[in-house]
Structure 1
Amino acid sequence: MLLTKVLPSTGSPWAAVASLLPLWLGMAAPAALFLARSRPKGLLRFRATDLVWGLGLGMGLRLVQGLLERADAQPFPTVQSIGGPFSSGWWLEQVLASGVVAPVAEEFFFRAVILVTVYRLLRRQTGAVAAGAAALLCSAGTFVLLHEAFALLSVSAAVQLFLVGSLCAAVVLFTGRIWGAVIAHVVYNVTFLALSVVGSVLR
């Protein structure tokens, strides 16, 4: 949920989104170059199992986040707590931007570019298992560092982000495809937004 940490609502739904365009373009440009020149065969292929992986991991990660945050003892999040007010602009600013665009951009950068590049660089010297482990750590670690650059993270938040990054990387390494990771990340973000809508209705 990087967008909610970068800027609160500014009155114009386009302002927060526009402020993140350079970041998204900075991730999209190397991802597009990588995909055009040297993507692994099958990386963009979609299988029905990718949907299963994505839905299962996204929901599982949200449950783990709830356990780490002791959600059973906390009130539901609300739209106001993550950059409200609840308006037509909120749907653009939060749901579209942080629910869909950000996860897609981040997955293609961290899991396609960084993960695959590190894996390829190390595979011949260290073997597939060691290269996969190193690539996973690099991908998940830089994912956490990007979020830390925009907002000071608690230990719990850093652990949650590292889990998201690690499991998404593991899906790509295990399946050879990116879509399971993309769907998992989208589900993880969107479920939080859905909980905030429920919390606002129940408030």
Structure 2
Amino acid sequence: MTPNDGARPREVRWGLVDVVAGIAAFAVLSAVARVLVRLPGVGGEPALVLGIEQVIGGWLPLVAVVLVATHRRGRRSLRLDFGLRLRPVDLVVGLGVGVGLRLAALGLAELVRQATGTRATAFSGGVGDPVLFVLFAVLAASVVSPVVEELYFRGLVLRSIERAVAPAGSTDARRRRAATIAVLGSALLFTAFHLDGVPETAAAASRLLTLFVVGIVLGLMAVATKRLGPSIVAHGAFNLTVAVLEIVTPPAVTG
């Protein structure tokens, strides 16, 4: 018998306040990261710049908010609060969806290229420094980022919107409406977090549209399965295909 046997379940109090806290923390720490990368001796080190931007300006605020939400305002379990669990079938489904999303993104990019006469893809070709490539293009982008972002966007954000729109005891119709709003809302915020200024080209705009569609698909997976395993794998596969494309694309010729 454990100390918690027979204890009353912890009340879940996390919600939109925590989502806003995540947005604020992201904005503040992103600004801090921008200052740090301009310090003498830092700007000339690409690996250090990428690390600061990724960890301080990206992962840290999202992870911190999710952990505080579950520990202070939830059930102290990422599985119970936000559905962080993986089943074997998630690997197959997630891989298929992730690759399918990348193919759709490439198709959209090609349509933009043909319509505007401009280059719509940004694959330079080659891997450069193999160590940095593995660290940032594979491990960071395809393993760590999907877990962190899915915990925040499809875990905290999506579920907070659902709970706000359809509190406990709501009708089935209201819960379905809440799920729709939550999927769209989390996808919009997901896209906004990846916004790097106002898009000035058709290719940049198509990238944002792609991210929004990806956010919707990942949100639907989270709602349908009630867990984050499928969306994490799909997100990771979607990002990993960029590394694969960089490997198979001939290096750009300059000069």
**TM-score with structure 1 length normalisation?**
0.82
1:62-101, CA deviations, whole angstroms, 9 ceiling, x for partnerless residues? 1101110118987892346xxx634322222322222222
What residue is the counterpart of 2:214 in the other structure?
Answer: 164
- The 8 Å contact of residues 98 and 236 in structure 2, kept in 1 or not, is answered as yes
Tell me the number of residue pairs that the alignment of Structure 1 and Structure 2 aligns: 193
Amino acid at match of 2:189: T
SS in 2 for 1:142: helix
What residue is the counterpart of 1:77 in the other structure?
Answer: 123
> 1-side partners of 2:176 and 2:69: how far apart?
23
- From 82, 93, 99, give the equivalent of 1:53: 93
What residue is the counterpart of 1:113 in the other structure?
Answer: 156
1:14-40, CA deviations, whole angstroms, 9 ceiling, x for partnerless residues? 331122212211000122233442467
Using the TM superposition, name which of 108-117 and 41-50 deviates more. 41-50
Structure number with bigger Rg: 2
SS in 2 for 1:31: helix
Unpaired segments of 5 or more residues in structure 1? 1-5
- The 8 Å contact of residues 77 and 200 in structure 1, kept in 2 or not, is answered as no
- Residues 10, 188 of structure 1: alpha-carbon distance in 2 compared, 3 angstrom cutoff: farther
- From 88, 105, 108, give the equivalent of 1:65: 105
Unpaired segments of 5 or more residues in structure 2? 1-33, 38-42
- Residues 144, 201 of structure 1: alpha-carbon distance in 2 compared, 3 angstrom cutoff: same
SS in 2 for 1:70: helix
SS in 1 for 2:123: coil
- From 171, 185, 189, give the equivalent of 1:138: 185
1:121-180, CA deviations, whole angstroms, 9 ceiling, x for partnerless residues? 1113671111001101110000000111x3544221111000111111100100000010
> 2-side partners of 1:185 and 1:65: how far apart?
13
- Residues 94, 10 of structure 1: alpha-carbon distance in 2 compared, 3 angstrom cutoff: farther
- Residues 194, 40 of structure 1: alpha-carbon distance in 2 compared, 3 angstrom cutoff: closer
- Residues 115, 76 of structure 1: alpha-carbon distance in 2 compared, 3 angstrom cutoff: closer
> 2-side partners of 1:51 and 1:152: how far apart?
35
What residue is the counterpart of 2:68 in the other structure?
Answer: 33
What residue is the counterpart of 1:99 in the other structure?
Answer: 142
Higher helix fraction (1 or 2): 1
- Structure 1 residue 106: Cα displacement: 0.9
What residue is the counterpart of 2:31 in the other structure?
Answer: none
**Greater RCO (CA < 8 Å, at least 6 residues apart):** 1
- Residues 92, 46 of structure 1: alpha-carbon distance in 2 compared, 3 angstrom cutoff: closer
What residue is the counterpart of 2:232 in the other structure?
Answer: 182
Identity fraction in percent = 27
- The 8 Å contact of residues 91 and 230 in structure 2, kept in 1 or not, is answered as yes
